[in-house]
Amino acid sequence: MDSLYLPHCMTINEIIEETPDVKTFRLAFADDDVKERFDFRAGQFGLYSVFGQGEAPFCISNSPTRKEYIECSIKRVGRVTNAFHELNVGDPLQEMRGKNLIFAGGGIGLAPLRSLVWNCIDTRKNFRDITIVYGARSTADLVYKRELSEWVKMKRLNTVLTVDPGGEDETWEGEIGFVPTVLEQVGPSPKNAVVITCGPPIMIKFVLVSLQRMGFTPDQVITTLEMKMKCGLGKCGRCNIGSAYVCKQGPVFSYEQLKELPAEY
């Protein structure tokens, strides 16, 4: 197998409702090469992630002699397990297959994007062009620097790095400018495309403005409101926006969905 720290995308082939609060998920690797290489022993566990929600370890509940799929049984008890229980057969990434993907990230906002980026890299044949525009206030504020260098060198990725004016040092070779401005300079086409953006609220606000100028429609844009969350259970009310609770209905929303709620950006 590859590095244990690299995620691999899986598709939900079947969901079995064991009890009112326990579901068994039958999963298959989206990449056939990974499926052939993957091996495990009875009693081992896996670390499972839902985009934008987090990750948690669960045991592999099927036998190693039945390696054509992976099964895990998950009890609904918290944020991550609730997210799993909201998934459907075919999730995740099905709606992005065959499309051009544009990632626009800022600062620590790259953290939730990172899982999705690596999943798309690991299943590269399922997507068309992949563009990454990522920036921070200064070179010191860029996260995952080793991985950024790796992405820049990948021939099948178009990775553009930028820092705010004044944030560059003598070794900086990337762009100088705010993420929305650099995104417009890169100029990805809205044709058959999906944009995923995460970062400081002010960055997201102006990224949405830039995307509108570039011809992207609200249903093509996915973003997150996770900064509004606190308890993650829909109890404290901090993340309430109109009729929605970010921790229960999100935190990932399309811009089209956000336009139906009181303004956040």
CATH of 95-224 given 3.40.47.10, 3.40.50.80, 3.30.70.1450, 3.30.565.10: 3.40.50.80
Q: Do domains 10-85 and 95-224 have the same CATH topology?
A: no
3-class SS at 214?
Answer: coil
CB atoms within 10 A of CB 79: 18
CATH of 10-85 given 2.60.40.10, 1.10.260.40, 2.40.30.10, 1.10.10.10: 2.40.30.10
DSSP code of residue 165:
T
More confident residue, 34 or 17: 17
Q: Where are the domains of the chain?
A: 10-85, 95-224
Asked if residues 72 and 61 have their Cβ atoms less than 8 Å apart, the reply is yes
Instruction: Please work out, in degrees rounded to the nearest 5, the angle formed at the alpha carbon of residue 252 by the alpha carbons of 251 and 253.
Output: 115
Torsion over CA: 178, 184, 189, 190 (sign) = positive
pLDDT digits (tens, 9 = 90+) for 141-185: 999 999 999 999 999 999 999 999 999 999 999 999 999 999 999
Asked if residues 35 and 1 have their Cβ atoms less than 8 Å apart, the reply is no
Q: Helix 201-213 and helix 179-186: axis angle, to 10°? A: 30
- Residue 259, pLDDT above cutoff 90: no
Residues 6+ apart with CB under 8 A from 140: none
Q: What is the pLDDT of residue 101?
A: 97
